Amino acid sequence: MTGSDSDRARVPWRSPTVQIVLASTLLAPLGVPLVSPALPVVRDAFALTDARASLLVSAYFAVGIVLSPFIGLVVDRVGRRRVLVWSLLGFSVTGGAIAFAPTFDVVLALRLVQGVASAGVFVTTVTIIADAYEGVQRNAVFGANIAALSLGAAVFPLLGGALAAVSWSAPFLVYFVGVPLALVAAVALEEPTSDRETRSLAYLRGAASALVGRDAGTYYGAAFVTELLTLGAIATALPFLLSAEFALAPLFIGVALLASEGAAIVVSMQNGRLARRFTNRQLVAVGYGCFGVGLAAMWVAPTPAAVAVAVGVFGAGLGVSMPAVDAAVSDLVAERYRAGALSIRNSTTFLGRAAGPVLFTGLGAVVGYRPLLAVAAAGTLALAVATLLTGRQSPHGTPHPDPGD
């Protein structure tokens, strides 16, 4: 690797764009990991059932599944900076306001609005990265973005648990930290120059072109499967298995699950270097392979320590595949439709997150969690092989033809 090639595979840490985008992404895990430890306290504070208290999580994702594509249209029509600033403000103010909500119905209403704002933050941050960087450097910055997401997901449950011990409302006050970040973004973030499509029908046709073809199925499918497995197998099924078979306390279950985030942080930071040697399709296939090996190891793991190692292998798959997915989706359409394409990716992500816990707990109750992990392992290993054998191996930064040309 030459010096210039090495520089292109690195993250430009001093760039205000990178700093603001990564700070915004770091806030994203405040959405669920921060408040998950507080669910029992919220339940007791409002005298709820477990099922009703869980709406605090599902309401957050539900709206994003439907509205993300429309958010992408707005991002491409009015500009990245404006949408990011208002999304950060909406995310922070509605989240912080929950601490003062008088009833749980008000809490849910605020969470619905916050979920929309969260989708806006995600769509704009990944679109800004795709606009500002190309080739392997785009992969490198997307890798740093996934690392920031994983770092927040690892740290915020600890913070949320500590604050929930003080009061049910205390974790929600943390959301206000996004307000100063929104002000910084309004001043320091440069608006990328782009050829924006102003006709709604033409825009929708152009953004929808991202869904056409085998490559689209590969990358959108990978986003869905990844979140389905992460939220279903790792975040939901595995804690039940560890509790039932090893009588593991919640604290130690959390420590075991941290292996996934730790591995994802380390591996995703190397994505720019990996992208110099492998195509995005190959990286997605490697990610599936890590998922399959990790899930198979969980299936046969005899001790909690062995489970933690297997979870780390799974997390490495996250670090390999997700930056590649975002980079590849960025190239599925012309720049003017990029936010639309990435917003569809966000919808598939939210759909996987919503479906995973329901699917794995439902099937786990019928067949057991160990056999379910074995089936999931076989399925993801099959996807790894299929991903390698199908589709074209496009070089990094090769854009999709513009349907409007």
Q: Is the pLDDT of residue 405 over 50?
A: no
Rounded Cα distance between 251 and 192, Å, is: 44
Q: What angle do CA 232, 174, 34 make, to 5 degrees?
A: 15
pLDDT of 111 > 90? The answer is yes
Most confident of 10-14, 312-316, 390-394: 312-316
Above 70 in pLDDT, residue 193?
no
Could you read off the pLDDT of 141-174 as tens digits, one per residue? 999 998 998 898 888 888 888 888 889 999 999 9
pLDDT at 1: 47
Query: Is the pLDDT score of 76 beyond 60?
Result: yes
pTM reported for the whole predicted model? 0.79
Residue 84 tokens read as 């990011």
pLDDT of res. 71: 84
Instruction: Indicate if the pLDDT at residue 282 is higher than 70.
Output: yes
pLDDT of residue 382: 98
Q: Mind listing the pLDDT tens digit for each residue in 238-253?
A: 888 888 899 877 667 7
What is the spatial distance between Cα 146 and Cα 141, in angstroms, rounded to a whole number?
A: 9
Q: Residue 16 is encoded by which pair of tokens?
A: 């205000």
Q: Is the pLDDT of residue 58 over 60?
A: yes
What is the pLDDT, as a whole number, of residue 258?
85
Hey, what CATH class is 3-389 in? mainly alpha
Least confident range of 58-67, 77-86, 139-148, 319-328: 58-67
Burial (CB count <10 Å: 0-12, 13-18, 19+), residue 232: buried
- Computed from CA positions of residues 216, 218, 223, 225, in that sequence, does the dihedral angle turn out positive or negative? positive
Rounded-to-integer distance, Cα 197 and Cα 217, Å: 25
- Between CA 14 and CA 17 the distance in angstroms is 9
For residue 6, pLDDT over 60 is answered with no
Mean pLDDT of all residues belonging to the chain: 85
